[in-house]
Structure 1
């Protein structure tokens, strides 16, 4: 067994931070129980955040032609200086990078917490010009929108207009699948069943913009039903995406209908355009207008917000990062962490809070 000094280490640092921790712990002959305990000592959100930081750290090492399996305090110091000068990161974020690195390098015997130079670098960062940090709180309240969809003119659905039924079905499907607007537009109206759940697929000619030889979007996916988790008298049953799609398909069962799932409201023989899916933004704004006391923040609504909120709800449910990536067809955690991660707060007892909903392919309470 080699000594714990950083210069004698042979295990290769992998692209996965958790995998690297496993290698280092195993190399020091600790038991598998210790290994599993250490790799699960972080909350899912922290683990995702650390993986994103580890990816940037590895890239910096590669760009500077350093050997990542042979770190030194001097190299770490250089990296920490790179973060404010080139990436314009805040002091709190840089402290997070240092904590992430220490969670790995301390196993090698390289304790970053007690180095005076690193402390001075962190202190100096506070005097650097800072850019505003990204606000993770959505500007709109999901529960307000869901409550809005359980009231007239969306209920009862059999009496809803084509426009209102389209708006409701579209929103619930966007939340249930966490799909991009372009992907929702390319869904086929031909569906099948798997128990109480609905199987939805794309039109054969559709190719997702992120498809590559190594990564392709699943052609078919399942929409979960709420019928098995809510009672017939529960208000949440009105938010079942499968139930809404049944009503929508029944009302839009035209002999000359397009192959697309969603059709233009004014001309049902044609598919809904990408621009018309602005219904998603409209319904969010309408919901908050109907409940003016529900939000005092300025509404800045984007259709992609639904995708971010749906996947962030899985994180709140403690779903694994790979599960979240599969749900949204993302290749790397950094896409989620950088652009879609939201802080989801659903407080029990809130007048707008409802029970289970379907989000990103899962039933979330």
Structure 2
């Protein structure tokens, strides 16, 4: 097939020599060899060129292709790199249908200058500033979005997530060194090398996944769906498999027993530090709540209701949970009484763990110097009476467990984590007959698989001994 040059506009001579440009003008163009090289092309496109090429036709590479320097630098050989998405024409030129409002090839060439072989022509308005304070916002603004829309889009992630993503992006930019990344044309080789460096430094698969999510957010590209990235993450899980801790790291029975003894009891003579530690740990293990939810507990009306047999709490409406849904935002937290009227010595001992009783004592002790309406407040220092941070609450939980071990003459576990209270609480509740539905409702897990896969602990049970004992009973004559 031969196209006559009558349909083409004269080339602007200001472009210079055409050998290094995006198009080349001759009298005749033999296009019989410019075909897509197998596989399915862009959605909705055909396998032949348009019947005519005029000045409004846009010649460009696929905008979804992650860029590289050029075919001469492809370590995999011609036609083998960047094959994760619809394949390109072997000549690197894919004619697209006329798109109203898009600049022509000549217009782009005159504005962009010489184009590197193997890169694609950006259809976005401009490049974001890599070194900006907020590169994601800069990038979104460079695409033509208003500041109001950018602010709304950024609200889709929590501030802590934004901070984590921003740190990862800064590390990635630093890793790239003299070859800074382009948010308009992400380089898959740079990204994989960055992930490889993290793997060699000992990062877990879950951490690598966070890095992929962060880079995908800044590149505005579904990086996790890239076939090489998916394969890399799959390989990392085999190279460094995740080890799930099924064995409890601390003994709940030992801790509860210590909370029933001095210096935690009697409450009237316990100092504010020990009262705070006991209150925090009892609420954590009886509710299976996250640190953020414990911090968001409010004592204002109507968010706290003190009833004869329980205290019902509702999270402050300004709190944004990890999962934003009506189920997570409108949850109620119930703190039950425990042997309110004991009739035996054992019941009297168990009543010392009555979380309702402990919370009322804590509220009374903190009332004279309380400033904020959050349940947990700082009990010393310049912020005394102010809302306790999640870091403080986590420290109190670990300190309470450590103190209980020390009081019982036991060695403090070396790998204590505040988050372990959720697994401990849910696992013991199941051991004592709570249904999976009750557990998931209390811990705000939408699926029982979350508990079974990530939180259920292998608690010791006499039933675990039955099989082995049955085998050993073979020595007993029938």
TM-score (norm 2): 0.43
- Residues 262, 212 of structure 1: CA spacing in aligned structure 2 closer, same or farther, 3 A cutoff? same
| Structure number with larger C-alpha Rg | 2
Measure how far apart 1:256 and its partner are.
5.2
Q: Which residue of 2 aligns with 1:139?
A: 249
- Aligned residue for 1:192, secondary structure, equals strand
Q: Which residue of 2 aligns with 1:302?
A: 417
Unaligned residue ranges in structure 1 (runs of 5+): 1-84, 90-128, 348-365
Measure how far apart 1:146 and its partner are.
0.9
Mapping 1:51-130, distance limit 5 Å: none
Unaligned residue ranges in structure 2 (runs of 5+): 1-233, 463-478
How far apart, CA to CA, are the structure 1 residues paired with 2:273 and 2:373?
Answer: 19
Corresponding pairs, count = 222
Pick from 373, 377, 391 the counterpart of residue 275 of structure 1. 391
1:226 aligns with 2:338: yes
Q: Deviations over 1:14-41 (max 9, x none)?
A: xxxxxxxxxxxxxxxxxxxxxxxxxxxx
Q: Which residue of 2 aligns with 1:186?
A: 296
Structure with more relative contact order (C-alpha pairs < 8 Å, separation 6 or more) = 1
1:198 aligns with 2:311: yes
Mapping 1:1-365, distance limit 5 Å: 131=241, 134-190=244-300, 191-212=304-325, 215-228=327-340, 230-231=342-343, 233=345, 234-254=348-368, 257-266=371-380, 267-277=383-393, 278-293=395-410, 298-345=413-460
- Aligned residue for 1:330, secondary structure, equals coil
Q: Deviations over 1:288-343 (max 9, x none)?
A: 222234x6x84311111111111111221232222211110011223212321112
Structure 1 or 2: larger helix share?
1
How far apart, CA to CA, are the structure 1 residues paired with 2:420 and 2:247?
Answer: 11
How far apart, CA to CA, are the structure 1 residues paired with 2:267 and 2:354?
Answer: 12
Measure how far apart 1:209 and its partner are.
1.4
Measure how far apart 1:252 and its partner are.
1.1
Q: Is the 8 A contact 1:196 1:227 kept in 2?
A: no
Q: Deviations over 1:142-166 (max 9, x none)?
A: 1111111112211111111111111
Q: Is the 8 A contact 2:423 2:457 kept in 1?
A: yes
Q: Is the 8 A contact 1:201 1:221 kept in 2?
A: yes
- Aligned residue for 1:252, secondary structure, equals helix
How far apart, CA to CA, are the structure 1 residues paired with 2:255 and 2:401?
Answer: 6
TM-score (norm 1): 0.55
List structure 1 runs of 4+ shifted beyond 3 angstroms.
Answer: 85-89, 129-133, 228-233
